[in-house]
């Protein structure tokens, strides 16, 4: 959410940013906010004047009664009563104006970083850099579910019977591999100085509205019926929410956190979850990284976060690339974002396995996450997040890139201690 002063002082900048994101339908919101803000400030000004007059006249009533000027005192009392009524009406209007302003401000997009490429959708995202040599072996790579089934590691039919499409049972070495990757990711991030967390897996609506846009919420979040609770779509939601309505001392920054959680997503718009695949699913687990920092440090942390994911995948011998998200592909709260994509030898292309985002002060403004500087002045923190790893989607890249011609799957050295010393998977 933007600072209201930006719309007061630089409305053209806000309009231009909306155009860069190809959201022309939101342009009227700028004028609506400006008009509502004007009316609200007028109401506040009028209310302040009435309070001053009311207090002044109230003081006179006792003096008038003391002088025996009963009629004048009654007139003054009526004036105070009229002012009270008008004040009540103005205070109600102020609340209505504030609510209407906030409703519009919540959907006006954050000002994007000048380095963000301009484009309408993800087809215009820009490749930044590749890490590792993408290899296509001289033998056929089966579909990832076929690899898992050959290792007796997945049961989709049973999951479909119990839960429907978009769910799975992992078992045996594939289930162990899934847990091993998450354990390795946890230790990988701890070794890089991040504090490990297991957060709540449900959050209140106040936190949901603070960490994501309404459109994202509608397409992602599962609501707990009859309660003010939502299942999290990623642990970032809980971890940023942890700081709601807090004032951090500047010396406490940066906060560098890594968190494990299950994730639950509707996947609205997926046009039918694949019955046999584990690429788009309703339930999965993830290791996340979150940073709360000074505004001037967020670009540096952004680069560190995506590099962590690249380094993690490279230790598992998986080629990856980074892709800069264009303006039209950025969620409204994001200032800048890039995807980390892994190489698929079967499809001979890259696919997304993680996303790194700098949200500037958008989440901090919504959740009131403030920092107290050395001079005592308070300011809004910046928040960032990035995926370390999210199996089982990551398992697709792992199995395809480590599959051998004889059907076994090589276990890279970094993961072997988490797999009981195994150097390969076989039926």
Output phi, psi for 418, to 5 deg.
-90, -5
Side-chain-side CA neighbours of 239 within 13 Å: the count stands at: 25
Q: Is residue 271 packed enough to be buried (19+ CB in 10 Å), middle (13-18) or exposed (0-12)? A: exposed
If you average pLDDT over every residue of the chain, what do you get? 92
Residue 272 has pLDDT above 60, yes or no: no
Confidence label for 161 from pLDDT (cuts 50, 70 and 90): very high
Q: Express each pLDDT in 198-247 by its tens digit.
A: 999 999 999 998 998 766 777 788 999 999 999 999 999 999 999 999 99
Measured over the CA atoms of residue 34, residue 37, residue 43 and residue 44, the dihedral's sign is negative
Give dist(CA 123, CA 287) in Å, integer: 27
* pLDDT for residue 213: 75
Give dist(CA 164, CA 157) in Å, integer: 9
Q: Which CATH architecture has domain 122-425?
A: 2-Layer Sandwich (3.30)
Confidence label for 270 from pLDDT (cuts 50, 70 and 90): low
* pLDDT for residue 275: 55
Overall average pLDDT of the 329-358 stretch: 95
Residue 277 has pLDDT above 70, yes or no: yes
Instruction: Fold for 4-105, please state it.
Output: Helix Hairpins (1.10.287)
Overall average pLDDT of the 378-402 stretch: 94
* pLDDT for residue 190: 98
Overall average pLDDT of the 362-366 stretch: 95
Overall average pLDDT of the 334-360 stretch: 95
Residue 157 has pLDDT above 80, yes or no: yes
Return the residue matching tokens 């380095």: 115
* pLDDT for residue 292: 98
- DSSP-derived letter for residue 403 is B
Overall average pLDDT of the 40-44 stretch: 93
Percentage of residues of the chain with pLDDT beyond 70: 97
Cβ distance 334 to 302 under 8 Å? no
Cβ distance 248 to 381 under 8 Å? yes
Confidence label for 418 from pLDDT (cuts 50, 70 and 90): very high
Q: Are strands 255-264 and 195-197 parallel, antiparallel or unpaired?
A: parallel
Output phi, psi for 210, to 5 deg.
-85, -25
Cβ distance 343 to 136 under 8 Å? no
Cβ distance 364 to 380 under 8 Å? yes
Structural tokens at position 215: 């459109």
Cβ distance 274 to 293 under 8 Å? no
Give dist(CA 96, CA 40) in Å, integer: 9
* pLDDT for residue 70: 77
H runs (alpha helix) in 296-421: 298-314, 362-367, 393-402, 413-416
**pLDDT higher for 99 or 70?**
99
Residue 243 parent element (H or E) = none
Q: Express each pLDDT in 46-65 by its tens digit.
A: 999 888 888 888 777 777 77
Residue 372 has pLDDT above 70, yes or no: yes
Q: What is the DSSP string of 147-209?
A: HHHHTT-EEHHHHHHHT-TT--EE-HHHHHHHHHHHHHHHHHHHHTTPEEE---SEE-HHHHH
Confidence label for 268 from pLDDT (cuts 50, 70 and 90): low
Cβ distance 234 to 286 under 8 Å? yes
Give dist(CA 289, CA 305) in Å, integer: 8
Maximum pairwise Cα distance, the chain? 109
Mapped onto helix, strand or coil, the DSSP state of residue 63 is helix
What are the boundaries of each domain within the chain? Answer: 4-105, 122-425
Mapped onto helix, strand or coil, the DSSP state of residue 376 is coil
């Amino acid at each position: 959410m933007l600072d209201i002063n930006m719309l007061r002082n630089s409305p053209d900048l806000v309009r231009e940013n909306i155009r860069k994101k190809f959201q022309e339908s939101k342009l009227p919101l700028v004028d609506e906010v400006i008009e509502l803000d004007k009316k609200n400030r007028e109401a506040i000004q009028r209310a302040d004047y009435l309070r001053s007059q009311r207090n002044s006249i109230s003081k006179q009533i006792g003096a008038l009664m003391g002088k025996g000027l009963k009629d004048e005192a009654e007139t003054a009392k009526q004036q105070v009563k009229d002012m009270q009524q008008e004040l009540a009406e103005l205070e109600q209007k102020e609340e209505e104006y504030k609510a209407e302003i906030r409703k519009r401000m919540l959907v006006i997009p954050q000002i994007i970083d000048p380095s963000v490429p301009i484009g309408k959708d993800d087809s215009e995202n820009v490749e930044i850099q590749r890490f590792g040599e993408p290899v296509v072996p001289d033998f056929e790579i089966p579909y990832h579910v076929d690899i898992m089934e050959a290792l007796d590691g997945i049961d989709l039919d049973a999951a479909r019977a119990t839960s429907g499409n978009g769910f799975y049972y992992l078992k045996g070495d594939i289930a162990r591999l899934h847990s091993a990757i998450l354990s390795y990711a946890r230790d990988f991030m701890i070794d890089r100085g991040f504090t490990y967390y297991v957060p709540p897996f449900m959050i209140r609506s106040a936190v949901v509205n603070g960490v994501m846009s309404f459109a994202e919420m509608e397409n992602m979040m599962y609501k707990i019926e009859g309660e003010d609770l939502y299942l999290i779509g990623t642990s970032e939601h809980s971890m940023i929410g942890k700081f709601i309505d807090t004032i951090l001392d500047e010396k406490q920054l940066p906060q560098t956190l890594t968190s494990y959680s299950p994730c639950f997503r509707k996947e609205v718009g997926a046009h039918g979850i694949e019955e046999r695949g584990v690429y788009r699913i309703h339930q999965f687990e993830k290791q996340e990284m979150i940073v709360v920092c000074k505004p001037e440090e967020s670009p540096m942390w952004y680069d560190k976060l995506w590099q962590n994911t690249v380094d993690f995948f490279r230790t598992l011998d998986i080629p990856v690339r980074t892709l800069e998200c264009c303006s039209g592909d950025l969620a409204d709260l994001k200032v800048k974002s890039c995807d980390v994509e892994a190489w698929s030898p079967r499809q001979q292309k890259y696919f997304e396995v993680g996303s790194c985002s700098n949200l500037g002060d958008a989440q901090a403004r919504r959740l009131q996450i403030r920092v107290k500087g050395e001079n005592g002045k308070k300011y809004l923190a910046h928040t960032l997040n990035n995926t370390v790893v999210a199996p089982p989607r990551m398992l697709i890249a792992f199995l395809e890139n480590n599959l051998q011609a004889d059907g076994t799957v090589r276990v890279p050295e970094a993961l072997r201690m988490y797999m009981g010393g195994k150097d390969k998977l076989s039926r």
